Amino acid sequence: MARHRLLRTADVDEFCSQASQILSVHDIHRTNALDTTPFRGQVRATSLGAIQFVYLEQGVDMDVDILERLDYYDVTLAYSGTNRITCSDQLTQVGAAHGALLSPRMRAQMRMDATYHQMHLRIDQHVLNQRLENLLGRPPHDPAIFDLTMDLSSPQLSTWMASLRLLIDDLDKEDGLTRQPLAAASWQDMLLTGLLLSHRHSYTRDLQEQDHPRIHRRTFQRALDFCDEYLADPITVGDLAQYVGISARSLQRAFQEELGTSPTRYLQSLRLAQVRQDLLEMDPTSPESVTQIAHRWGFVHLSRFAAAYRKRYGEAPSDTATRVVSEG
């Protein structure tokens, strides 16, 4: 996240003030008051939807006391070094194999070594619980409370971490996929869904034991109508499930049973058809570019779009456009 630097300072107070504005109000001081190692503070931050990515490093052994109870979720990960976190009667250590997840209403104390470089995912409480509601098919009665320790070697969390690393790498690119609204919404949805399904919390059993009855045909038709009406908008599976009032997993099951496909593939199919129609109806005297038409219907990765188009229609989209213009 080098291109998202907000602060580089040798002043502990300045560092603390900047970090407190982004995360929570906290107090920091050297673990050893006699330590004369130069302080080297860095703060980098950027956002993806309702998730903030905050990178911090300090270069000296530090103790941190969070002064206020959190009103958000804080995923804490280590790029290097370790951080020992005490939260009520719980103790965990963030490092190469483990992360930590602080839930709303929690307070914590931290002891960080000098080599500790940390990444925080600050997740809006309302947004995560809305994602949980979509998965449950009903509003949660309380905010989800996660286990403090994250075992990053577990199969599901290791997959989630691999996706997160890919995302963070893309955030550092000037023209990365995350800069596209359609892609950003999907990334946020993936991160929140993955977190809720891969790391234990107070609703894990509800998600595991949830029954998935067949949805009514009228409900399914409403989902199809919604896809048609908002096809050019950045629709996610979560948006669709929320609109028709069922869980995302029930919706995915319905699409599979009714159409033999997923909601995402169904939307792609509709968008490809719209691109095809626009190409065939191009004005030969002032044709739009294939890229403009693709972007209009939400395709941001042009090589993948071209491959999907060729697979469906047996020719490249540029060939369709060339033929229409030459015949026009």
| Euclidean distance between CA atoms 191 and 167, whole angstroms | 10
| Euclidean distance between CA atoms 78 and 120, whole angstroms | 9
Three-state DSSP state, 136: helix
| Euclidean distance between CA atoms 182 and 268, whole angstroms | 12
What is the residue-level pLDDT of the chain in tens, covering all 328 positions?
A: 788 889 999 999 999 999 999 998 989 999 998 999 999 999 999 999 899 999 999 999 999 999 889 999 999 999 999 999 999 889 999 999 999 999 999 999 999 999 999 999 999 999 999 999 888 877 888 999 999 999 999 999 999 999 999 999 998 888 888 888 777 888 899 999 999 999 999 999 888 765 556 678 899 999 999 999 999 888 888 889 889 888 888 888 899 889 999 999 999 999 999 999 999 998 888 878 999 999 999 898 899 999 999 999 999 999 999 988 888 6
Show the tokens assigned to 186. 């999907």
| Euclidean distance between CA atoms 270 and 113, whole angstroms | 53
| Euclidean distance between CA atoms 9 and 89, whole angstroms | 34
| Euclidean distance between CA atoms 95 and 118, whole angstroms | 9
The correct answer on CATH 3.40.190.170 for the domain covering 2-171 is no
Question: What residue ranges do the domains of the chain occupy?
Answer: 2-171, 266-327
| Euclidean distance between CA atoms 173 and 180, whole angstroms | 12
Helix segments in 86-180, DSSP class H: 125-136, 155-171
Please give the CATH number for the structural domain made up of 266-327.
1.10.10.60
| Euclidean distance between CA atoms 308 and 306, whole angstroms | 6
Are the beta carbons of 94 and 78 closer than 8 angstroms? yes
